[in-house]
A and B are shown apart, each in its own frame.
Chain A
Amino acid sequence: MAAQAPATPVHPTPVFAMNGVTKVYVMGEVEVYALRGVDLELHEGEFTVLLGPSGSGKSTLLNILGGLDRPTAGRVTYRDGDLSEAGERALTRYRRRHVGFVFQFYNLIPSLTARENVALVTEIAGDPIAPEEALALVGLKYRLDHFPSQMSGGEQQRVAIARAIAKRPDVLLCDEPTGALDISTGIAVLGALEKVNSELGTTTAVITHNAAISAMADRVISLADGLITSDVRNATKQPAATIEW
């Protein structure tokens, strides 16, 4: 594993800023604290891995950053906008323009081919990458007209990444992108993420419970029980292709 150094801000204005963010889910008569007052900043072009066991609050954090959920208390800003106060329409617009999502179960539309799944996004985006180009970026230019059911899990996940980046998002949020994949396909997917981050400069946050992945990050944030337990910056990034678990 690469040597770790304390995190220091490299960019003056953060892409995301969270202040005292708390999220409480009411499950019947029980209140579950998913986040307990988290402070966090994410910066332009950073590749961040959010590490933690299940139940640590990392998915909640990602959902709030992605505009899928609102905090119960605290403040979240995306550049100059306040996500914690934004309404349903504003959040939809935010997701549409700025955020690319990659999920554990790909969430592709089974009735659309790889190219069409990407086109789904490029059709509603302002300045998109051509679907073919986005798919080429993740190494799928020979799979353009395949339906999800005709592709392996790794291929499907790379389609999902292509779909996420085709709109040239400002941030790419990935929730356990390799969680459903075996190691070799998982590494291909991580390679695609790495490439997007380095070639397009997209701010990327990956949540995972797989500590090995943190080796390829600029910054590794660990969560446990709704709190950030550590926040470290990797001195050197390890190429995705060399990661093993």
Chain B
Amino acid sequence: MRALDRKLLRDLWNVRSQVLAIALVVSSGIALLVMAQGVFGSLETTRDAYYTRYAFADVFAGAKRVPNWIEERIAAIPGVRQVQTRVVVSVSLDVPGVTDPVNGRLISLPDRGRPALNDVALRRGRFLDPDRAEEALVGERFAEAHGLDLGDRLFAVINGRRQPLEIVGVALSPEFVYGIGPGELVPDPKHFGFLWMTRRHLATAFEMEGGFNDVALTLADDSPSLERAAIVELDAILDPYGGLGAIPRADQTSNWYLENELTQLENMGLLVPLIFIAVATFLLNVVLRRTVAVQREQIAALKALGYSNLRLGIHYVQWAVVVVALGALLGIGAGLLLAEAMLGLYMEYFRFPLLIYNVSASSILIAVGVSLVAATVGALGAVRSVVSLPPAEAMRPAAPETFRVSLFERLGARRWLSQPARMVLRNLSRRPVRAGLSIVGIAFAGAIMVVGSAMMDSMDELLEVQFNIIQRQDLSVSFFEPVERSAVHELAALSGVLQVEPTNGIAARLRSGHLQKQTAIQALAPDARLQRVVDVDYRAIRLDRPGLVLSTLLAEQLQVEPGDTLMVEIMEDGRPVREVVLTDTVDDLLGVTAYMEQESLRRLVRRDDTISGAMLKIDSLAEERLFGLLKAMPAVAGVTLRSAALENIQTYMLDNMSMMMSVNLLFAVIIAFGVIYNTARISLSETSRELASLRVIGFTRGEISSILLGELGILTVASIPLGLLLGYGMIAGVMSAFESELFRLPVVVDPNTFLVSAATVLGSMAVSAWTVRRKLHELDLVAVLKTRE
């Protein structure tokens, strides 16, 4: 080993705790990046493999009832490669031992052979025996949630009749990676399940023999124009049969959620790691500058011995490289572990029959590369000022530092300040840039804490708004088909029902110029109390004008403003198209929805006064009995409990967010500690001579500690408001990056979040202070007097 390399290793070893602190900050950034990229890459690769292997379709369409011979016409649409027709029905399920309402979807599998599209992956058991009517495959999460095993039985309530089903296999499908039921945000396998039955038997049970009500197809290529054309053709073919409008893969529910999740991962996986890497580079730069300044005479001596500027430059760059390499190593290791843990969590909610780990090497290389380049530039900047001096000059000590009375003192505070207080202020004001950078560095730690916790605050707010302000029913009932309005009275008559409000929803395609969007129009009574439309200030909006109210996001997507006219294509018989004026937009938080006053909607659809569901407020004591009564009503397709939905979402968030929160907390502490500890060590090495002098003339350890830590304290305290501000800005940025059709998170920060952030930063300061204070006790009083500065 060359002598200079030995020097490198020993220098690093001498400041090992600082090196480690910086390497940890570097590693935090890289770990986050590797984690996000690993989860993103693995999910994407896994999804692609799953979709290909199990033939996930490109276009999906539902209809009322289509004769089987139409399949040929669909197959003949130009560009269609494969067609799969099916019978799909929504049912109410009766799982032995479960009193809560459980809903499900029964999907047909071909009588013989595997489906050409949307194949199922068998996890346990066997495929269906076409000769046995009662056999069913059940979705994996549903089976897990209810502890269902092969051979177990449950019942589908079909037209008020209990159809027994025997579980012979447990399956997954690319259609239900994110297996949510209607109206759900988060899969709730306790209350909603997917089941597969043989086509013949399912058709028989639902009077669908000789026909189908669901079709999926794949296209020859993935060009958008082909997709659009195929959808138009398919809609035209299905029109006479109650076609509900075809949707592309992008709008397929499970895929859409998965896609949203991947986009979020991709966005988050870049932003946050970059912040960490920036902070780490800053730290590295400061420490390196200081090291170089201290080694000024050594550098001069080495130059005098004949080492070139280049060689010395390389020497200090290596310094930075070692730190980054250490951080990269730690970060990649930690990132891979975290990615695996995160994937484990994802696999709980996004179900795949296979998992392909895929961490993009290029993104890791880019992260490490960016860290290296930033560190190298910092190192070169630090070395340049020293190597540019002629050796003889560099061997003399640097000129004494010039100080001046700080601004604060000049403003009149001087006479109130003790000499140690003046030292602190002047040290800080002598290097305002560095003090500023330290403040910014610590502020970042606080900001990251704020971001981590504020996401939780936003989610809480979202749920509060959704489940206490918007939805105030206890349970909602949906019907198979629209029923007469008088059903409201029937429901109201049930004992235990306190209040009933009808709901009415129609599937519709909104069009404005060439833009279009498939959605549901919800009809609400002007005086609706159980489900309301609220504006951004959570005030209920009265729907008393004829016309459409849209989510702001939806209006933006369609590029329409209040007063504009939209074309509404109603996804029902004949798909009539009507003109409707947009009367208002509403900044709602969940989903993208269209609302109309119920009477206006009825006139628009030109049908009898029917309702598609109802919201109920009930007496909780009567809950169980009511479930039974409702399930037994032939018209009832499903019953959803608000409390169950809320609980389910909360569990999901806790599962998902608590891990992210812990990771965030850990990394915020690392940054806070990294910055504060390094700042403390640097001020210690810069002022150790002064502090030792003070000790010699009789200052106690406590007194000199307060000088050193006073500086640290001022930096930390100054960083706190900035950190909170930065955090607020970052959370606003993160929330807008999170904005999707799925939800818009409100930017709310609980005061506790600010408190926790400030406390974390102060705690990190306390630990750093304690560590550095021990160094103060080791000051060599004699040595410092014998050496010149």
Contact = CB atoms under 8 A, between A and B. Distances in A.
Interface of A: 59, 63, 66, 68-69, 88-89, 92-93, 95-97, 99-101, 103-105, 107-113, 116-117, 119-121, 123-124, 147-150, 163-164, 167, 175, 180
Contacts of B420: 120
A121 B698 contact: yes
Interface in B772-789: 781-782, 784-789
A86 B341 CA distance: 58
With most chain B CB atoms within 10 A of its CB, the pick from A101, A107, A108 is A107
Q: Closest 7 CB pairs between A and B?
A: A96-B698, A111-B426, A107-B693, A95-B698, A120-B419, A149-B400, A111-B403
B697 A105 contact: no
B617 interface: no
A163 B420 CA distance: 15
A175 B785 contact: yes
Contact of B698 (A99, A108, A119, A175): A99
A180 B785 CA distance: 13
Given A116-B422, A123-B419, A149-B400, A107 B698 contact: no
Given A123-B419, A147-B403, A97 B782 contact: no
B694 interface: yes
B782 to A, nearest CB: 5
Given A105-B787, A149-B400, A116 B419 contact: yes
B699 interface: yes
A150 B756 CA distance: 47
With most chain A CB atoms within 10 A of its CB, the pick from B399, B401, B782 is B782
B2 interface: no
A69 B785 CA distance: 13
B403 A96 contact: no
B315 interface: no
A119 B419 contact: yes
B132 to A, nearest CB: 88
B423 A112 contact: yes
Interface in B400-428: 400-405, 418-420, 422-423, 426-427
A231 B317 CA distance: 57
A92 B693 contact: no
Nearest to B428: A111
Contacts of A108: 693
Interface in B755-780: none
A107 B781 contact: no
A167 B697 CA distance: 10
18 contacts: A88-B701, A92-B695, A96-B697, A100-B697, A103-B693, A105-B785, A105-B789, A107-B690, A107-B693, A109-B423, A111-B403, A111-B423, A117-B419, A120-B420, A120-B697, A124-B698, A124-B699, A150-B402
A206 to B, nearest CB: 15
A110 B403 contact: yes
Contacts of B697: 95-96, 100-101, 120-121, 163-164
A109 B687 CA distance: 9
Given A112-B419, A147-B404, A149-B402, A68 B788 contact: no
A92 B423 contact: no
Nearest to A69: B782
Nearest to B781: A68
A221 B422 CA distance: 41
Contacts of B693: 103, 107-109
Contacts of A99: 698
Interface string B563-605: 0000000000000000000000000000000000000000000
Contacts, number: 98
Contacts of A163: 697
A103 B785 contact: yes
A108 B405 CA distance: 16
With most chain B CB atoms within 10 A of its CB, the pick from A63, A66, A92, A167 is A92
B698 A92 contact: yes
A97 B701 CA distance: 16
Q: What is the interface residue range for chain B against chain A?
A: 35 or more
A104 B782 CA distance: 12
Contact of A68 (B427, B689, B696, B787): B696
Contact of B696 (A101, A104, A112, A147): A101
A101 B782 CA distance: 12
Interface string B661-700: 0000000000000000000000000000110011111111
B529 interface: no
B64 interface: no
Nearest to A100: B697
Given A105-B787, A107-B689, A110-B401, A97 B419 contact: no
With most chain A CB atoms within 10 A of its CB, the pick from B404, B697, B699, B703 is B697
Given A59-B786, A116-B419, A109 B694 contact: yes
A104 to B, nearest CB: 8
Given A63-B782, A116-B419, A119-B419, A95 B400 contact: no
B424 to A, nearest CB: 9
A175 B781 CA distance: 14
A245 B689 CA distance: 31
A68 B422 contact: no
A112 B404 CA distance: 8
Given A96-B700, A112-B422, 8 more contacts: A59-B786, A92-B700, A95-B696, A99-B698, A100-B697, A109-B690, A110-B690, A112-B426
A100 to B, nearest CB: 8
B153 interface: no
A69 B784 CA distance: 13
B430 interface: yes
A134 to B, nearest CB: 13
Contact of A107 (B401, B403, B700, B785): B785
Given A107-B689, A109-B690, A96 B699 contact: yes
Contacts of A124: 698-699, 703
B403 A149 contact: yes
Nearest to B426: A111
Nearest to A176: B786
Given A110-B690, A111-B403, A116-B422, A105 B698 contact: no
Interface string B528-559: 00000000000000000000000000000000
Contacts of A164: 697
B689 to A, nearest CB: 7
Given A105-B785, A105-B789, A175-B785, A111 B698 contact: no
A118 to B, nearest CB: 9
Contacts of A109: 419, 423, 690, 693-694
Contacts of B689: 107
Contacts of B400: 110, 148-149
Nearest to B419: A120
A95 B787 CA distance: 21
B377 to A, nearest CB: 31
A142 B773 CA distance: 39
A167 B699 CA distance: 13
A167 B430 CA distance: 29
Contacts of B401: 110-111, 149
Contacts of B782: 59, 63, 68-69
Contacts of B694: 109, 120
Contacts of A112: 403, 419, 422-423, 426
B533 to A, nearest CB: 64
With most chain B CB atoms within 10 A of its CB, the pick from A88, A109, A111, A113 is A111
A145 B783 CA distance: 29
A127 to B, nearest CB: 14
A148 B689 CA distance: 15
A105 B788 contact: yes
A63 B419 CA distance: 26
Contacts of B698: 92-93, 95-97, 99, 121, 124, 167
Interface string B166-209: 00000000000000000000000000000000000000000000
Nearest to B789: A105
A92 B789 CA distance: 24
Interface in B202-224: none
